[in-house]
Amino acid sequence: MELEEAIRTRRTHKAYGADPVDRATLEELLELARWAPNHHLTNPWRFRVLGPRSLAALKEAAGPEAAAKFDRAPTLIVASVALSGDPEQDAEDRDATAVAAYLVLLGAHGRGLAGYWRTPAVLRSPEGRGALGLGDDEVALGLLHLGPARQEQRPPERSPVETVVSFLD
């Protein structure tokens, strides 16, 4: 798949087949994430692939109503940022981690997999942070859902480019 085609055709999926993403593919996707642009090469991104115990702990922390959404995809990855304590560096590192997470989603799409980036409240709660082993020096950025697509997604309408771009003198 060509890069521009992948960018224009990647969609958020909320319905997945049952097969989890195999470990070799996950390792390939997470290796791609390392190539995100990163000021000072701090490599701030951290990825946790959830297994049965960690998923159960996160679902318990989320509560029954919110926990059901964790069952949408067979493979879940938490993307987090290692904090330096310097506000400027932490802001740059958060942005770099967002790019790294998107590279995982784009790489998954290029391999025929579906993806979904969520930011559930449990990732910011003490219980959710504890379930994931996040210390005070790390913040969860999002939860990546991955797996085989169960249905085709239509592209959403996008704002015309002239509404979001300005050329300044």
List, for residues 13-44, the tens digit of each pLDDT value. 888 999 999 999 999 999 999 999 998 999 99
Mean pLDDT of 45-53: 97
Cα 2 vs. chain centroid, distance in angstroms?
22
Give the integer Cα–Cα distance in Å for 117 and 141. 10
Model's pTM, two decimal places?
A: 0.91
Asked if residue 160 is part of any domain, the answer here is: no
In a domain, 55, yes or no: yes
Query: Would you state the pLDDT for residue 61?
Result: 97
**End-to-end CA distance of the chain, in Å?**
37
Query: What is the rounded average pLDDT of the residues 83-91?
Result: 96
Neighbouring C-alpha atoms within 13 Å toward the C-beta of 155: 9
Q: Is residue 114 part of a domain?
A: yes
Q: What is the per-residue pLDDT for 10?
A: 87
Q: Is the pLDDT of residue 79 over 80?
A: yes
Q: What is the mean pLDDT of residues 135-153?
A: 92
Question: Helix, strand or coil for residue 109?
Answer: helix
Show the domain range for 107.
Answer: 15-146
Q: For residue 159, is it within any domain?
A: no
What's the structural domain count of the chain?
Answer: 1
Residue 117 domain-assigned?
yes
Q: What pLDDT sits at residue 156?
A: 73
In single-letter form, the type of residue at position 136 comes to D
* 3 domain-assigned: no
Task: Provide the CATH number for the domain around residue 113.
Answer: 3.40.109.10
Q: Is residue 104 part of a domain?
A: yes
**151 pLDDT exceeds 80?**
no
Task: Give the model's pLDDT for residue 121.
Answer: 96
Confidence tier at 12 by pLDDT (50, 70, 90):
confident
The answer to whether residue 156 sits within a structural domain is no
pLDDT higher than threshold 90 for residue 124: yes
Mean pLDDT of 121-129: 97
